[in-house]
Amino acid sequence: MDRDLVERVREAQRSLEPQFKELRQAVSALKTAARLAESEKPDALPMSKVLPKLEQAAAKLPDDALEAATADFRRETERALDALAFDFAKDLRDAFAGRGLEVDGRPPALLVGDLVLRIDVAARKAQWFYGQEPLTGRLQLSTAAIVDAYERQQKLIAQRESVPADFLRELFATWDGELKSRSRRPAGNRLNLVDTYAKMTMARQSARFWNAPSRKTFKDYPRPQFVRDLVRAQASPTFDVDGRRYRLRLGVATKSQADSSSRSVWLPSAAGGLDGTYYSDVTFEDVPA
């Protein structure tokens, strides 16, 4: 047998095998999608699992029929997931109503008091936030577990006692001390807000920590608590230090700063909510007597 012929045949085989594999995967995904589409009631979770397989197949195989089927299946999957999310949100509303609490917003983001619940129905998970700061890990879509987590975080964040004027004096002392330590002051005496938070946290550490640094001796100041303190301080931004009056000023972040949690902080527009603003820097100004 001609060796060159054998090699050409094998080369053709190697060339077609990936396409055969992709076609087989596409047909398998289409069969599963067809079976799900035949159901009287859309089953959102299985549909959300097969959709990425269809989308992957449509991306690899240029076929108009496959692209059209994938687009139609995507729309139906999104509708089914929305319906499932609203059903779950209704159960949550009933559970919180039994505790005298109102649930605002609509899936995937619900607002309960000062805290935000973000729901990922396809993954069967949800997570509590204060503003955009995560308070919990991803929780199972269990009404009881989500309500219990809310009550714990509400005590740690929203019901935590703090005095805005005391917080502002502490933040001012951190800002002022950092400026005095620099040979050259930044323009407008503006300091990065996240860096100032980190220095403020370290300034809270006791001699015990500095003598033997460890997790046990570290006095934590979680970022969500700092964000909460900032929100409260914004409502009453003036304070006195050594007979002089000052006002807190926060600089709005640029788009590039807002894209990084190390360069900006997102603050809810009120005590808690779904709307807010990214801030990048902090400064203080004298208030005329």
Tell me: the pLDDT tens digits for 170-211? 999 999 999 999 989 999 999 999 999 999 999 999 999 998
Q: Where residue 7 falls among pLDDT bands split at 50, 70, 90?
A: confident
Segment 153-169 mean pLDDT: 92
Helices (H), 121-246: 143-153, 164-181, 193-203, 207-211, 223-235
> 87, 124, 125, 122: which is closest to 106 by C-alpha?
87
| pLDDT of amino acid 174 | 97
Inform me whether the pLDDT recorded for 1 exceeds 70: no
- Contact between 131 and 268 under an 8 Å Cβ cutoff? The reply is yes
Lowest pLDDT segment from 89-103, 208-222, 270-284: 270-284
